[in-house]
Amino acid sequence: MTIEFPTRFQGRLTTALLILRLSLGVFLLLWALEKFILPQTTAEIWASFYKIPISGAIITILAILQTLLAIAFIIGWLRHITYGIALGINAVTFISTWQQLLDPWGLAGGESVNHLFLAGIPVLAGFIALYILHPWDMWSLDDWLKHKHTLGHSHELQEPMDVMHHE
């Protein structure tokens, strides 16, 4: 089944997905860089939120892996995999902050106020939206590689095969 979208909508959708991918990718990259710059903060976060003590080489390995993921995400390489991994990482992080999300102003727990955790809600929504719409994210390395040898390539927006529900 092919969906015919007006040309104006095609440009807006691909531009919106590019902006979403770049902004979420930079978000991932900044968290990766923090692991290099402030490894002790990373160790404290893991101990506090994930209840897993980490240090030294493990933090460096995580930083390298997250940097590679962020770069692949930013350029749109292996989208179905990198978007899924990024979504999974963000979902685990989101779930691990459930107490701050339920009481962002510290009213029930008497803890310090940290309502910045609420920003995790639209960030998670962005990762979900990008994962769902990744087949239409045409300004990506995947799309370029897919079409680089195709003569007369048209950027008409067509409904890609739904790989999640395809029989």
pLDDT tens sequence across 16-55: 999 999 999 999 999 999 999 999 999 999 999 899 999 9
Whether residue 62 is contained in a domain is answered as yes
7 CB-contact burial (10 Å; exposed 0-12 / middle 13-18 / buried 19+): exposed
CB 118 within 8 A of CB 104: yes
pLDDT band at 167; cut points 50, 70, 90: very low
Determine the structural domain holding residue 139 and report its residue range: 9-147
pLDDT confidence of 107, banded at 50, 70, 90? confident
**Residues near 116 by Cβ (< 8 Å), separated by ≥ 6?**
none
Distance (Å, rounded) from C-alpha 69 to C-alpha 32?
Answer: 9
- pLDDT tens per residue, range 7-17: 888 889 999 99
* Position 54 in a domain: yes
How far out from the chain centre does Cα 41 lie? Answer: 22
Q: Contact 63/104 with Cβ under 8 angstroms?
A: no
- Quote the CA–CA distance of 39 and 163 in Å, as a whole number: 39
Q: Is residue 94 part of a domain?
A: yes
Q: Is residue 154 part of a domain?
A: no
Region 69-76: mean pLDDT is 98
Answer whether residue 35 is part of any domain.
Answer: yes
Determine the straight-line distance between the first and last CA of the chain, rounded to whole angstroms.
14
Residue 1 lies in a domain: no
**pTM of this structure:** 0.83
What is the tally of structural domains in the chain?
1
**Does residue 152 lie in a domain region?**
no
User: Is residue 114 in a domain?
Assistant: yes
Interatomic CA distance for residues 19 and 133, integer angstroms: 13
